[in-house]
Amino acid sequence: MSDTSRLLADNVQAFLARHPGAACDETFMEAVRESGFALAMAPEELGGLQCSLAEAATVARVWGYQAAPLPIVELLLSGFAARIKPDLVLTTTFMPRGGGERLAAWFPGVERCVDLSGAGSTIAPVGERSASTTLATEPLVAVTQDAMAGSFRLAGDDLLPRGALLTAARMLGAMERVLELTVEHVTLRQQFGRPIARFQLVQAMAADAASEVAASRAVIGDALAVVDHGETADLLWRAAKIQAARAATLVSAHAHQMFGAIGFTEEHELHRFTTSLLAWRNVWGSTASIEKELGGLACTIGGDGLWGAIAGN
Amino acid sequence: MLWFEERPNVAAPRPEESGLRLEVRRFLDGECKAGGFVPRPNNWVAFDRAFSIRCAEQGYVGTTLPKQYGGGGKSARERLVICEEMLAAGAPLGSHWIADRQSAPQILRHGSEALRARLLPEIAAGRCTFAIGMSEPDSGSDLSSIRTAARKVDGGWRLDGRKVWTTNAHHADYMIVLCRTAPRGEDRYAGLSQLVVEVASDGVTVRPIRNLAGEHELNEVIFEGAFVPDDNLLGEGGDGWRLVNEELGFERSGPDRFLSTYPVLRLLVAETGKDPNRYQAVAIGQLLSRLLAVRSLSHSIADLLANGERVILAATMMKDIGTALEQEIPQVAGRLLEIHPDPHGSGFAAALAAALLNAPSFTIRGGTREILKGIVARELGLR
Ligand SMILES: Cc1cc2nc3c(=O)[nH]c(=O)nc-3n(C[C@H](O)[C@H](O)[C@H](O)COP(=O)(O)OP(=O)(O)OC[C@H]3O[C@@H](n4cnc5c(N)ncnc54)[C@H](O)[C@@H]3O)c2cc1C
């Protein structure tokens, strides 16, 4: 698995390097379609690579690391869902609005959407492209109540943990890049006649950010492995998504603090990572809702059984 | 590296080790029901020699020590499983914990053959308690400034000086003492050595220091010309700085750095019941997600060790965020339930009190949070 993942990481890096300045548009979408990455999780007979979730997560992680456009998580999942229903182009709802209206990530050609508002994963047609965007100006599409009438349910609840973990992996990649940029910046930037990395408060912020990234990497990796082994990861996938969200909050805030004013500009690349990170915290399940689910699961298991659920019976 | 490696030490239920987990759990359950112990947080400090001997009889002490020294000859992974189970159960591990965690590996790697043959079997039998002799009244974070000194005499060393904050020295048979064996010169890290000192020797005095919970865990240990035989020197002499850092590596990297207050989380979940309100569910979910994330980080250290890679960065980050979680658990638990912490009570109230009162020490002992962050920054290349 590791070898395939490494190769995949290299290929995605090379592909994205060939498309600098790509946008969420038909041109880039076409390139992604041709590259085959979007079908990473699709079965071979449908032209896919039949990748494991960990391998697909590698694609998402590199995507995040490069701040590349297009909702890669949804594209990857479309490939996964193709096992059940070919030609399903998925997006997901994540932003409840008033009047029962919800929003979902938009990309060229998107027709249907996984709705997470009810129990399980309902597939609904999408409506009009919305004037709203995410914090990172990613385009959105409206999913109306009417459209829900034409919805159907996908068998099993496989999509939700996968969507959450791929999102967490994408966030991890973005955070890893932010950490690199930050370490580079604080060692180069001089104030008071020395690199700001010499200041202990700066060191502590960098250390905290690094620890959050390391913890995220570890728990996301574990959750992916468990899902790929076909075991239930009820606690772990939720923990991974919550950890990624917690890390994203701290890493973005600390990075901006360490960059000073330059990081607050449109011109500087930092915001391409940090604003997305803030938005992705609440994609594929809002952080609070997943926390509530995880706590609820713990209480259902009960105090005496909890350790067994964590470590194994 | 932006891909996900296949890792042997995934922190998830693993069928191949469930036999061992269940076996340890059954043993602990039996102990608990028979009144052998009351589950408490921070219990890896609580001294109970008889309990440690019973653990050793099951092979739960000195697990990784070679069989020739009375050990179990088992893998680090098996030891991790046993340690996690004991910590999660809140069992009193204080009699053997320090010896098992850091003194035994230190003696195995750097001790003379005579010392290994004499002490390791005793440790593995759960009959031997060790203390850590690093801190002094004027040297805490800056260990290179210690003043306790040993001078060479016929057949050994004479030790003079004073150690402080020595956990369980009043129960300890031995103490690994960091001391100067050469005067401090240009290089402040040179001229330090580690000696294994028998606490019952002439010239060693142990005085109690009560902590803020009124417990007697800490001590001051005074050395007045105490004799330490040559065999009890670790390493070559003069290499004490490298040795003490290796010892700290063992001290800082284990599951006792995130599970010290797990018994409080367990009781919190039990007291909350099957029907938490939204606020309780969210708060418990936050704690549990953090626990799982830190645990994954902790298990990833085992992978690094197995591959012969440096563990200092991962281990230091784990201790920093793990001990922060240990402090957070009783704070959150105290907010969620309307139960007063009571040091003289039982169940949740007693566990909460013990956790709240001991919590300040979690981010001090074994290297303060600030020192840990400095190490992480250094590893990132910032200093
Ligand atoms: C419960 C408990 C058990 C212990 N058990 C043992 C034991 O068995 N054996 C043993 O040898 N020791 C033991 N210790 C001592 C422990 O290792 C020291 O307390 C610790 O290393 C800190 O030293 P200090 O208390 O002297 O604090 P100091 O070093 O004086 O630090 C005080 C404060 O200053 C900060 N500080 C110091 N230097 C720096 C710096 N360079 N940059 C930023 N901030 C800094 C610290 O982080 C801390 O916040 C124990 C301590 C406790 C609380």
Residue finishing a domain among B193, B208, B239: B239
Q: Count structural domains, chain B.
A: 3
Index of the ligand 1 atom closest to the CA of residue B168 = 8
Domain interval for residue B91: 11-128
Which residues on A lie below 8 Å from B321 (Cβ)?
211-212, 215
> Cβ separation of B374 and A1 shorter than 8 Å?
no
Say yes or no: B116 and B138 in one domain.
no
Between CA A273 and CA A277 the distance in angstroms is 6
Residue A80: per-residue pLDDT: 86
Index of the ligand 1 atom closest to the CA of residue B369 = 47
Say yes or no: B181 and B218 in one domain.
yes
Alpha-carbon gap: B198 to the closest alpha carbon of chain A (Å)? 39
Say yes or no: B149 and B211 in one domain.
yes
Between CA B135 and CA B129 the distance in angstroms is 18
For an interface test with A, the pick among B310, B382, B383 (most A C-beta atoms closer than 10 Å) comes out as B382
Between CA B290 and CA A221 the distance in angstroms is 15
Say yes or no: B155 and B223 in one domain.
yes
Out of B4, B22, B321, the one facing A5 most closely (by C-beta) is: B4
Task: Please give the average per-residue pLDDT across A90-107, as a whole number.
Answer: 72
Say yes or no: B40 and B124 in one domain.
yes
Q: How far apart are the first and last CA of chain B?
A: 23
Out of B18, B88, B286, the one facing A307 most closely (by C-beta) is: B88
CATH of the domain at B337: 1.20.140.10
> Cβ separation of B296 and A206 shorter than 8 Å?
no
Assess whether pLDDT exceeds 80 at residue A275: yes
For residue A114, the SS3 value is strand
Which residue in the block uniquely carries the two structure tokens 């992996």?
A169
Alpha-carbon gap: A33 to the closest alpha carbon of chain B (Å)? 22
Q: Compute φ and ψ for A139, nearest 5 degrees.
A: -65, 150
Contact indicator for A164, A129 with CB cutoff of 8 Å? no
Say yes or no: B153 and B123 in one domain.
no
Residue A261: per-residue pLDDT: 98
Give the residue with greater pLDDT, B34 vs A81.
B34
Task: Label residue B168 exposed, middle or buried (CB < 10 Å: 0-12, 13-18, 19+).
Answer: buried
Q: So what's the ipTM on this one?
A: 0.96
Distance (angstroms) between ligand 1 centre and the Cα of B142 equals 9
For an interface test with B, the pick among A231, A281, A291 (most B C-beta atoms closer than 10 Å) comes out as A291
Residue finishing a domain among B208, B239, B270: B239
Alpha-carbon gap: A110 to the closest alpha carbon of chain B (Å)? 28
Alpha-carbon gap: B287 to the closest alpha carbon of chain A (Å)? 8
Q: Per-residue pLDDT tens for A154-172?
A: 655 678 899 999 999 999 9
Residue B359 within a domain? yes
Residue A130: per-residue pLDDT: 87
Distance (angstroms) between ligand 1 centre and the Cα of A1 equals 44
Between CA A51 and CA A37 the distance in angstroms is 10
Say yes or no: B181 and B294 in one domain.
no
Tens-digit pLDDT string for chain B (383 aa): 899 988 888 999 999 999 999 999 999 999 999 999 999 999 999 999 999 999 999 999 999 999 999 999 999 999 999 999 999 999 999 999 999 999 999 999 999 999 999 999 999 999 999 999 999 999 999 999 999 999 999 999 999 999 999 999 999 999 999 999 999 999 999 999 999 999 999 999 999 999 999 999 999 999 999 999 999 999 999 999 999 999 999 999 999 999 999 999 999 999 999 999 999 999 999 999 999 999 999 999 988 888 889 999 999 999 999 999 999 999 999 999 999 999 999 999 999 999 999 999 999 999 999 999 999 999 999 99
Index of the ligand 1 atom closest to the CA of residue B142 = 29
Say yes or no: B232 and B325 in one domain.
no
| Annotation: CATH topology of A159-311 | Butyryl-CoA Dehydrogenase, subunit A; domain 3 (1.20.140)
Domain ranges of chain A: 3-84, 94-154, 159-311
Residue B249 within a domain? no
Say yes or no: B303 and B331 in one domain.
yes
Q: Name the closest residue on chain A to residue B348, using Cα atoms.
A: A303
Q: Which residue stretches of B62-166 are H helix?
A: 76-88, 97-98, 104-110, 113-124
Q: To the nearest 10°, the Cα dihedral for A103, A107, A113, A114?
A: -90
Say yes or no: B111 and B189 in one domain.
no
Helices A287-301 and B262-272 pack at an angle, to 10 degrees, of 80
